Structure 1
Amino acid sequence: MGLIIYLDGQYVDEEEAKLSVFDHGLLYGDGVFEGIRAYHGRVFRLKAHIDRLYESARHINLDPGLTKEEMTQIVLETCRRNNLRDAYIRLVVTRGKGDLGLDPRKCPRPSVFCIAAAIELYPAELYERGLELVTLGTRRNAPDALDPRIKSLNYLNNIIAKMEATRAGAPEGLFLNKEGYVAEATGDNIFIVKNGQLITPPPYVGLLEGITRNAVMELAAGAGIPVYEKVFTRHDVYTADECFLTGTAAEVIPVVKVDGRAIGDGQPGPITRDLIARFRELTKTDGPEIFI
């Protein structure tokens, strides 16, 4: 018996969870998704994830066919059926089965599926000693072409960039936008610390407005750390006192070197370490309980 998957109104064994080869999510990447985490029997910031899923769906004129409350219960029930208190959850809405043409009107019903499983993105020691990044030649999608604020199933921009980072021997890569400003990493948002201030790029430069990103900004503000959304370049990264990434899978992870240049003293900084601790505490209480 494998994982139990929610698929279009049923909970089925993973071997029985099948979509049509004519589904436009497969044929064209026409759909949206969310990556969500459960910690200590709670689904972290589930409401924010559901809201973002529906915003992405609205942008591409896709009606999931379920209410937000129904979608919320699907996530919780999928965790329950797999007896998971700590999990990575993938919630997906595709355009559904259609024909070989592009026209989404040929897809009468969307498909919705939800997977809950275990995940470990980075080894535990990297949270202690930090990551090294390389700047990517691949540029982030331009918002006027395909807005990165849509968390769509078309992830080729990120995948090509990830392959580029891997070829360079780095676990992550730094996306610049078409103007050369820092946008984000291939799967995470980026923060720098300079003179006690926390700085992250604004969404309009071309990035996904991360749920973890927003949580960390709130934690920093609550701790009295000034937080700013500002446009910045690689120069600002190279000369920062500290740097870290945030993401649902990665959580909060230090960056200690970019393009061969040590950030600060080459060790995770005090503000980064403080925010890691605060975030881990937040995950214990923030979000609906799975088992009640």
Structure 2
Amino acid sequence: MKIYLNGEFVSESDAKVSVFDRGFLYGDGVFETMRAYGGVVFRINEHIKRLRRSLGMIRLDLSLPESSLYEAIYDTLSANDLTEAVVRLSVSRGTGPIGLSMSLCGQPTLVIIAKPFTPYPQDYYDNGIRVVTTKIMRTPPDALNPMIKSLNFLNNIMAKAMADDAGAHEALMLSANGHLAECSVSNIFFVKEDILYTPSVKSGILDGVMRAQVLELACETGLGVVEGEFFPATLYRAHEVFVTNSTMEIMPVTTVDAVSYPVGHVTRRLMKAFFRYREQYVKYRQ
């Protein structure tokens, strides 16, 4: 595996950053995870735009043109001879002496990793996955804005650990107000009376790229959409539930806590609409 590290490709064994890197010391940085299909990075523009937003929100100047980021991502795919892949791009504030001041740091550290995509089991898409609500609260916006896709992911890691302990596939986190927020690595949607519901950004969530894609597809297919703040009881009364992210795409949920749901017709309609859109997206960019 070849790793892109600060403008150069190095082997996996040589891909090292300093123990004084702020990403290691403090989780001081941001990242994006992307999917490549047939050598095409899906919705790369949206991922780069969100990366730039995250960088701006933590006052980190990468000083690299967007065109150079695009080139680096595709060069990483090419260097690893990959077409079906997961791409992880990470930016830390760089190295410097121990201390919290941003002024202590030098140049940012940029790492791009591309690895072959390993498909999720087909059973997950046919019969759904299990989600449990955890006691780990989503970080409140006043503490750390969830619109920042931060390297400091411990909040989500601990939530996922609790889901693993419960034998579930995903962990649902609530906001400080007890509203539905998001899962450890995905956004959540539910359907009631053929209306699609999902927590709004006011609920303390990251606005996922796949989340935006699903909202677009829902509108195009004539579904009503409601973004808002919902308590878990509203979710328990839903008719269908699914989660989304760039690697899962649209994944049905058949159990949340003690409540079961079918893999319903709205979920399947959106899955089919996404497959069509993805196929066209890749076809016209290859």
Query: Which category describes the TM-score, using the shorter chain as reference length?
Result: over 0.9
Q: 1:285 — aligned with what? A: 280
| Residue identity (%) | 42
**Aligned counterparts, 1:136-285, within 5 A:** 136-263=134-261, 267-285=262-280
Where relative contact order (Cα < 8 A, 6+ residues apart) is larger, the structure is 1
The Cα offsets for residues 37-95 of structure 1, whole Å up to 9 and x where unpaired, read as: 00122110000000000100000000112111111111111111111111100001110
Q: Distance in 2 between matches of 1:156 and 1:150?
A: 14
Deviations 1:222-277 (A, max 9, x none): 011111211111111111011100001211100111111112xxx21111011112
Contact 2:202/2:229 (CA < 8 Å) preserved in 1?
no
Deviations 1:197-229 (A, max 9, x none): 111110111110000000011011101111121
Alpha-carbon distance, 1:13 to partner: 1.4
SS at match of 2:16: coil
1:148-177 CA distances to partner (integer Å, 9 max, x unpaired)? 110010000000100011111111111110
Report if the CA contact (8 A) 1:42-1:284 is conserved.
no
Kindly indicate whether the alpha-carbon contact (under 8 Å) linking 2:218 and 2:270 is maintained by their aligned counterparts in 1: yes
Distance 1:116 1:252 in 2: 22
Output the TM-score relative to the length of structure 1: 0.95
Instruction: Determine the structure 2 residue equivalent to 1:116.
Output: 114
- Distance in 2 between the 1:160 and 1:196 partners? 34
Distance in 2 (alpha carbons) for counterparts of 1:27 and 1:280: 41
Q: How far did residue 187 of structure 1 move?
A: 0.6
The secondary structure found in structure 2 opposite 1:133 is strand
Gaps of 5+ in 2: none
Two-structure CA RMSD over aligned residues (Å): 1.4
Inter-CA distance 88–289: structure 2 relative to 1 (3 Å threshold): farther
Partner of 1:83: 81
Shift of 1:121: 6.6
The alignment partner of 1:97 has SS state of: coil
Question: Contact conserved, 1:245 with 1:252, CA < 8 A, in 2?
Answer: yes
